[in-house]
Chain A
Amino acid sequence: MKFFNLLKKELKEMLTIQTIATLIIIVAVLSLAGSALTDVIEDAVEEGSKITICDEDNTEFTQSLIKTLETVGGTENEVTKVTLESKDYAKELKRLDITNVVVFPKGFTEQVQKGEQANIEYVGSMTSLSTMSNVGFDSETATEIIKNAIEAQLYSEKIAAGKMTEAEVMQMDSPILVDETTVVADKSAKISSEILFSLCKMQGTFVPIIVFLLIMYSSQMLLNAVSTEKIDKTLETLLSAPVSRMSVLSAKMLSAAIVAAVMAVAFMFGMNNMTNSFTMGADASQFNEVLEELGLSLSAAQYLLVGLQMFASVLIGLSLSLVLGALAKDIKSAQALVMPILFTAMIPYILSIIIDIKTLSPVFKYIVYAIPFTHTFMASENVMFGNMSLYWGGFVYQIVILAISMTFAIKVFTSDKIFTMTLSFGEKGKKRKYKKA
């Protein structure tokens, strides 16, 4: 009985409004991410049945092959024929507004007829490092579908003719050889998008983690500093001393920013070492060149751009923490106050890893874009894939938000709001009150 009462008390203390709010928000975020994901997967499936072909061989065989493609694999495929005007694939994909194309090169039919493995080219583009963005009509699907189509063709021809030679049976096993080119922004290289993706996965996964940790750590640090000063009343002592409030405020902000910057540099350094040892190892040096060629390994200037947005996010987090820390009434509420920052950072963090935020439905996309941290989570991707207008747009937006939140923080600190404004979670944790003087 005594134990039961103890347990009841502990549960009551732990299951506060904050804990419950956290749960509700996590469920909401995950459900939202789920529905966004469903959209993306549906799009991917739809894309997957769209085949774009450039028939440079243009023979009876290829023409009937294309006809077969429309129904092969048990699905209705939407086959579009295009003409590539040059070998500059990046430019051609952009001109035709397509994301991939299968090319039957001149001599393709001849190779098939000779019973050789026939070459085809697959050109795909990579636009994001997120997991889901690389699901869809890729070279593997293309190969599979075309293989099936060729088999169907050959079967009908050869079997009609009576018999198959041994070489022809071999040919049936793997009738084509895919030459894969991947386009990144305005550059292209002969490499499969899958290899490319796994090479870049490090960056795609680790940059968001670093950004998230950096925002959370620095915000938590400043929030704790401000709220303990307020709770211990050392803030009252300081602000009644012969120093200006602005210098107290800027000293706090600056020291947190310096610590965050040191952390950012340390993280970047560690990550760079890690990816280096990863790409240096084995026979990966050839890939390194390709990565550089495609602009997928960040140059110093690009690191700087990513760092700039990282810093902007950290500063936004810090200015929010200043205000939130001032709201704290006791240690417990101070811990709860980091929630708004936690969630606004968590939403783009999770989304950026799973999906390409650019491809979300407009409403959802702009909601996510409205979170200033989002742009930092997308920064390295935007820089890599050359979406510079998105980068700069995000940066300007971050500066605007930073200016607003800083102005607000300064207002709170230089007026007596810092002492009169409290956000308390009610005596019994039942209701929220906003007390403003």
Chain B
Amino acid sequence: MENVLEVKGLSKQYKKGVYASKNVTFDIKKGEIFALIGPNGAGKTTTIRMISTLLKATEGDAVVMGHSILTEPGKVRENITYLPDEAGAYKTMTGKKYLQFMASIYANDSAAAAEYVKTASEICGLGDRLDDKIGSYSRGMTRKLLLARAIMSKPALAILDEPTSGLDIINALDIRRMIKELASQGMSFLLSSHNMLEIEYVSDRVGIIAKGHLLETGTPSELLEKHGAANLEEVFERVVKNSEIL
């Protein structure tokens, strides 16, 4: 099967000698949901930002739909959407205006833009509140709006940093279902999370990252079996503990 994303030895140094991410290698197939899990400061966001062409990689490369982040960042951006962790939106815009504005940037023509806005309006479930200013939204409402924005254009790869943080269980469940649904239609996802239960439920494969190193990758069931654990939380604990030896 075709790889939507191929990450090859990606490393990042913010300061000389200190790796925030070191030699990270993995790939994501079409229609696959891949999750990076790891403790705070592990290098999840750093890795994601490099793939999203926001940060320059110190070493290594990543290829999205055949386009390298090093040589063709513009082409990469045409194939991805990125939802930053703890992101906000333009507070003085209404939800609808925000969706229209973002749609105009992702779409090639106004028909496509209108289609995106329609999709996003349905997905976000904000109803009439879409006509209110974003400044008046709760954290969860903003998050849903941004999530809807990230998937409305049905990119080849949606990169979502902590997609359900700040959402209640019902909304988080909704979002997970939606991600699974879109993946079944052929969209690929790169997620990051702290929430192991969620990841176990939603991901096809996970990568455990700590101190910038991608320690293990595999399907949740593979990892559970390998470590003789009852759930991903235990796997995670064992892998990270072993990694202290690193």
Contacts and interface: CB of A to CB of B under 8 A. Distances in A.
Contacts of A231: 88
Contact of B54 (A232, A239, A242, A243): A239
Contact of A236 (B74, B80, B84): B84
Contacts of B84: 233, 236-237
Given A232-B91, A237-B82, A240-B52, 4 more contacts: A244-B74, A416-B55, A419-B49, A419-B54
Contact of B105 (A233, A236, A241, A420): A241
B81 interface: yes
A240 B82 contact: yes
A194 to B, nearest CB: 52
Interface in A392-429: 415-416, 419-420
B42 to A, nearest CB: 18
Contact of B88 (A233, A241, A242): A233
Which one of A232, A233, A237, A437 has the highest number of Cβ atoms from chain B below 10 Å of its Cβ? A237
Contacts of A234: 87-90
A232 B145 CA distance: 14
Contacts of B77: 240-243
B176 interface: no
Given A236-B54, A415-B56, A437-B15, A242 B74 contact: yes
Contacts of A437: 14-15
B106 interface: yes
A233 B14 contact: no
Interface string B91-135: 100000000001001100000000000000000000000000000
Nearest to B58: A437
Interface string A235-259: 0111111111000000000000000
Contacts of B85: 233
B174 to A, nearest CB: 22
Contacts of B198: none
Interface of B: 14-15, 49, 52-56, 74, 77-78, 80-91, 102, 105-106, 146, 149, 159
A239 B73 CA distance: 11
B30 to A, nearest CB: 20
Interface of A: 231-234, 236-244, 415-416, 419-420, 437
A237 B56 contact: no
A231 B89 CA distance: 10
B15 A236 contact: no
17 contacts: A232-B87, A232-B90, A232-B91, A234-B88, A234-B89, A236-B87, A237-B83, A237-B84, A237-B102, A240-B53, A240-B81, A241-B105, A241-B106, A242-B105, A243-B105, A419-B49, A419-B54
A232 B89 contact: yes
Contacts of B56: 415-416
Nearest to B155: A242
B41 to A, nearest CB: 16
B87 A237 contact: yes
A240 B15 contact: no
Contacts of B102: 237, 241
A274 B58 CA distance: 60
A241 B52 CA distance: 9
Contacts of B82: 236-237, 240
Q: Which 7 A-B pairs have the closest CB atoms?
A: A232-B88, A240-B82, A233-B87, A233-B84, A240-B52, A236-B84, A416-B55
Nearest to B13: A437
A233 B150 CA distance: 14
B74 A420 contact: no
B94 to A, nearest CB: 15
